Structure 1
Amino acid sequence: MIDVIAIIIAIASVLAALGHVGYLALLNNAAGKRAGGAPVAQYVRSRWAIAGGTTAASLLAWLLTSGGPTLDILAIIIAVGSGGVAMKSLQSTQTKYRSGG
C-alpha cells in the first residue's frame, strides 16, 4: 500500500516540477519575442537551476519507488520536498509576471 502512495506522490511531484519548467519555457519564449524582454529573460535564466533541480529530485523520487518500503518512505520525503519547492517557485514566478485582471 505504501508503494502506491509513494508512486502517486512522486508522479504529482514530477508534474509540479514539469509545470514549473514549462512555465519558464513559455515565459522565456515570450520574452525573446518582445522588445524589452531582456529583464524577464534574465530572470528566467536565474530560475533554470531551481527548475532543473526540482525536476531531477522528483524523477529520483519516482525511481526510488521501485525499491522496498524504506525507499518508498524516502521517495515520499524527496517528492514532497521537491514538489513543494517547485510549486512555490512556480507561484512566485506567476505572481511576479501575472498580467491582466
Structure 2
Amino acid sequence: MDILNIIAVVVSIASLLAALAHAGYLAMLNSAANKRAGGGPIADYVRSRWPIAGGGVAGAVVALLFSTGGTVMDILAVLLAVGSGAVATKALQSTQARYRSGG
C-alpha cells in the first residue's frame, strides 16, 4: 500500500463520516419536527435537504470504492472525497445555523 492510497482511504473515510453526520442530523431534526405541533415547515425543509445528504453519502462511498484502484483512481478518490466532504460539511453547518437555539 503506497502513501497515495493511504491518503485516499483516509480522506474518503473522513468524507463519509461528514456525509453521514449531515444525514444523521437531518434524521434527528425530522424526527423532532414530526413529534411537535407546528413542525411542518421544518419537516418540509428537511425533505428538501435529503437529496443533498444522499448525494454526499453516495459521493463519499464512490470515493471509497475508487480508493481500491490504482494511482489514477486514488487521485480521483481524493478529489471526489474532498468535494463530497466539503459539500456535506457546508450543508451540515448551514442546517445547524438555521435551527440552532439558545445561546
| TM-score, structure 1 normalization | 0.99
User: Which residue in 1 is equivalent to 2:24?
Assistant: 22
Q: How much has 1:85 moved relative to structure 2?
A: 0.2
Runs of at least 5 residues in structure 1 that lack an aligned partner in the other structure: none
- What is the aligned counterpart of 1:83 among 75, 82, 85? 85
Size of the aligned set, in residue pairs, is 101
- What is the aligned counterpart of 1:51 among 50, 53, 58? 53
Identity %: 61
Which residue type is aligned with residue 51 of structure 1?
Answer: A
Which residue type is aligned with residue 47 of structure 1?
Answer: R
User: Which residue in 2 is equivalent to 1:98?
Assistant: 100
Moved over 6 A (4+): none
Which whole-Å deviations, capped at 9, do the CAs of 1:34-82 have from their partners, x for residues lacking one? 0100000000000000000010000000000000010000000000000
- The root-mean-square deviation of aligned C-alpha atoms, in Å, is 0.3
Counterparts of 2:4 and 2:54, CA distance in 1: 27
| TM-score, structure 2 normalization | 0.97
Counterparts of 1:91 and 1:69, CA distance in 2: 33
Counterparts of 2:12 and 2:102, CA distance in 1: 33
